[in-house]
Amino acid sequence: MNPQDQKQFQALYQKQLQALTLQGLRKKTIASYSRAVRRISQHFDRCPINLTQDDLKEYFANLVKTRSWSIVKIDRCGLQFFWKHILEKEWDWVKIVKPPVFRRLPDVLTVKETELLLNTVRKLCYKVFLFTVYSMGLRLGEGLKLEVGDIDSQKMRVHIREAKGGKDRFVPLPETTLKVLRLYWLKHRNSKLLFPTIQGTAETIKNSTKHMHEGGAQEAMQAALQECKIQKRVTVHSLRHSFATHLVEAGVQLRLIQEHLGHVSPETTAVYTKLTEVSYQNGNSAINSIMRQIRINWDEVA
């Protein structure tokens, strides 16, 4: 990119960042939409202000070959925002690229497989973390960001803050999970975080403001899966899917599951009915019932 193009691009790029911020979009979305503008300018090695429809078709044809469809969709949205709000141009984006619709069902663990998996995890911090994520149907990031003040032992619920879409919600706190979290907190005694970093001395961990790294939990789960010889394609997020499926099997109403998981649309929650043959009605007591079935040995961990 020559100096003139670089100067023009930087001016437009800063306008993009400002416009995205003024739209109240989350940091992750701003970063993704901005990355789309940088990516296309690098592809053509010039400021994208005068790109034609043929240029865009060529760009997306190349992107489809080298990136996932999720990236393609994000780039399409980011560039559409850039064209509409920064360049003030109209474009028929549907004719340029239309990602296919995938309707895949996730792999889920049975209650017995969940019990086996959690008992196989060696390190206490990961064992407690994975159990917590499962027992409350949390996303990975939601579990990592849990703080001591989020736990309400009087009302037996947990405050999940700034979840997906910037929304807060309350989730039921199983009795077993409260006991396990209390025991684990006595190990690190961090005044703020439930899952502080595990790097450093006991004193640095106690005073740390950084939570546990997500990669460690993922690796611990994959190691346990291999040891258990569970062949299903599951990750830490699959514990959330498994939890929801187990609630359906226990007869909990879909509306309650939707609230627990923080789903905006009931259609998102309804997918779990396809993962089980059971469909009855029950109440929140089913959560504690499920937790009691999973017997974890907390003594033989590091």
Give the CATH number of the domain where residue 217 resides: 1.10.443.10
The closest alpha carbon to 249, from 289, 190, 301, belongs to 289
- Residue 91, domain member (yes or no): yes
Q: In whole angstroms, give the CA distance from residue 195 to residue 213.
A: 9
- Residue 299, domain member (yes or no): no
Percent of the chain clearing pLDDT 90 (strictly above): 59
Which residues are tagged catalytic?
139, 164, 237, 240, 263, 272
**Residues 163, 288 within the same domain:** yes
Domain closes at, from 61, 96, 131 = 96
Give 99-112 pLDDT, tens digit per residue.
777 777 888 999 99
Answer whether residue 283 shows pLDDT above 60.
no
**Residues 28, 81 within the same domain:** yes
User: Which of these ranges, 114-128, 219-233, 254-268, has the smallest mean pLDDT?
Assistant: 254-268
Domain closes at, from 35, 69, 96 = 96
Answer whether residue 166 shows pLDDT above 90.
no
**Residues 119, 79 within the same domain:** no
**Residues 210, 82 within the same domain:** no
For the chain, how many structural domains are there in total? Answer: 2
Residue 266: which pLDDT band, with cuts at 50, 70 and 90?
A: confident
Please give the residue range of the domain that contains residue 37: 3-96
Answer whether residue 236 shows pLDDT above 50.
yes
pLDDT at 301: 63
